Structure 1
Amino acid sequence: MNTSHDVIARSHRLDGTPEQLTAYYSSWAPTYERDVTNVHYAGPRIMAEMFSRLKRQSPASEVTALDAGCGTGLVGRQIAGDRTITLDGLDLSHEMVTEAARTGAYRLLTSGVDLNQGLTEIAAHTYDITVCCGVFTPGHVHPVAVEGLLRVTRPGGHVLLSTRKRYLSETDFTERIESLCAEGRTAVVEHHADRPYTTDEPADYWVLAVP
């Protein structure tokens, strides 16, 4: 019998193509939340805590946010109680977005979006805060996807990311962030290393500022 650990581990062996990811998550969507609960997935909770802290620091009375790679809406559910937040979500998988719609947390939900393509569907500088939780993980998006997240976020806004620990060791994500900082396209406001993520692996959590 496949355990939740087995199902999640198989997702990390995908090749990152939209076709393979779409097929895998379309079948996983009905049991996704059960499986990530079984491995004590802490990402959405920690991301929501970071989001709430930024929101309290913002001078704006209302915030427009994007949950990029929203999945079944775990992050959205965490922040849905704040009526001063307008939240949109997007994901590659239609079935995952269908589950996210059941949360009632989102103004707008879009499926079929490949983060590797730079979020060209969205105008630049649209959101105050962009959240991307559980996406920068083996077998999924490439580090270049962070550039699209920065592009759709307004100057003065922030991008919140989680990066699974093994992803950092297997990709040039850290080097890409350093390059973007050197080019003046972002700045690292917070970087929390080796924080809780799942029972089998920690993650790093990032807050990037958009100049």
Structure 2
Amino acid sequence: MVEWNQPIDEITKEAFHNLQIKYPDGDTNVMQAHYESWANTYDKDCEGLRYNGPDVICDAVDRWISASDKNECNILDLGARTGLVGKALRDRGYRGEMTAVDFSQNMLDQALKGRQIYNVAINHCLTADNPLPIEDEKFDLVVAGGAFGPNTIRANCLPEAFRITRRRGYVAITQRLSEKNRPFLDMMDSEINRMIAAQEIEQLETKPFTQYSWICEENETEQLKGRLLVFRKL
């Protein structure tokens, strides 16, 4: 099912093809193979589709982390892909240790190629039965730009993001909003509500934003919406 009108120019149409038409249904292994093959053109495709997720995450993080703490903030970029969120954070002045985790080695290779973003890169497929190889409460901030989804990191892995976050630390997540994604979002919301009720986390922000946009027929702008979620660990 395609919910959006396609771009009119061929370059952006191919980017949209990678984002949506090739977006595979099935298990995580299928998605992992898709990202391995997408790594070389991922940055170009995100640029063509005006991907806004990294800036939205950085704006949110800046609202909660003081400028004086940027040099010491220890960050995990969960589902880092080619490092777009990590680079945006570095550009905003975050100078602390930064770790990347992604299930695609090719994506991580692109993130590390000629860039001074991450101190550590971990190739790992996070599932409920395969937790992160990271000690408890290591990070001040965990960011996950588009990493939680039905074919990537499942909703039942959300507690793992908080396990590795220090008390009073932050978790910032962006996710795609779509009818196709609604069953997963409902599972995610159920897990969030459970953790809030258990007084494990507090939700600081939730808001929709334009995640991608492009020009389609008759010079109309098409938009793919996402949502931002920001939490603090209690």
Query: Equivalents in 1 of 2:84, 2:151: separation in Å?
Result: 20
Query: Equivalents in 1 of 2:96, 2:127: separation in Å?
Result: 23
Q: CA RMSD in A?
A: 2.2
Structure 1 equivalent of residue 220 of structure 2: none
Query: Equivalents in 1 of 2:80, 2:37: separation in Å?
Result: 16
Query: Equivalents in 2 of 1:40, 1:52: separation in Å?
Result: 21
Instruction: Please state if 1:204 is matched with 2:227.
Output: yes
With normalisation by structure 2, the TM-score equals 0.81
Query: Equivalents in 2 of 1:42, 1:59: separation in Å?
Result: 25
Question: Secondary structure at the residue paired with 2:155?
Answer: coil
Question: Secondary structure at the residue paired with 1:3?
Answer: helix
Deviations 1:10-29 (A, max 9, x none): 45333242x22221111110
Closer, same or farther: CA 178–95 of 1 in aligned 2, 3 Å: same
Query: Equivalents in 2 of 1:104, 1:120: separation in Å?
Result: 23
Structure 1 equivalent of residue 206 of structure 2: 191
Instruction: Please state if 1:134 is matched with 2:136.
Output: no
Gaps of 5+ in 2: 1-9, 214-222
The answer to whether the 8 Å contact 2:150/2:181 transfers is no
Question: Secondary structure at the residue paired with 2:153?
Answer: coil
The code of the aligned residue for 1:88 comes to T
The code of the aligned residue for 2:46 comes to V
Q: Which runs of 4+ in 1 moved over 4 A?
A: 57-61, 115-118
Question: Secondary structure at the residue paired with 1:162?
Answer: strand
Closer, same or farther: CA 57–155 of 1 in aligned 2, 3 Å: farther
Instruction: Please state if 1:176 is matched with 2:176.
Output: no
**Residues 108-187 of structure 1: pairs in structure 2 closer than 5 A:** 108-117=120-129, 119-166=131-178, 169-171=182-184, 172-187=187-202
Query: Equivalents in 1 of 2:76, 2:97: separation in Å?
Result: 9
**Larger gyration radius, structure 1 or structure 2:** 2
Size of the aligned set, in residue pairs, is 209
Query: Equivalents in 2 of 1:187, 1:152: separation in Å?
Result: 16
Query: Equivalents in 1 of 2:151, 2:22: separation in Å?
Result: 7
Question: Secondary structure at the residue paired with 1:80?
Answer: helix
- Shift of the alpha carbon at 1:141? 2.2
Closer, same or farther: CA 183–57 of 1 in aligned 2, 3 Å: farther
The sequence identity of aligned pairs, in percent, is 21
Gaps of 5+ in 1: none
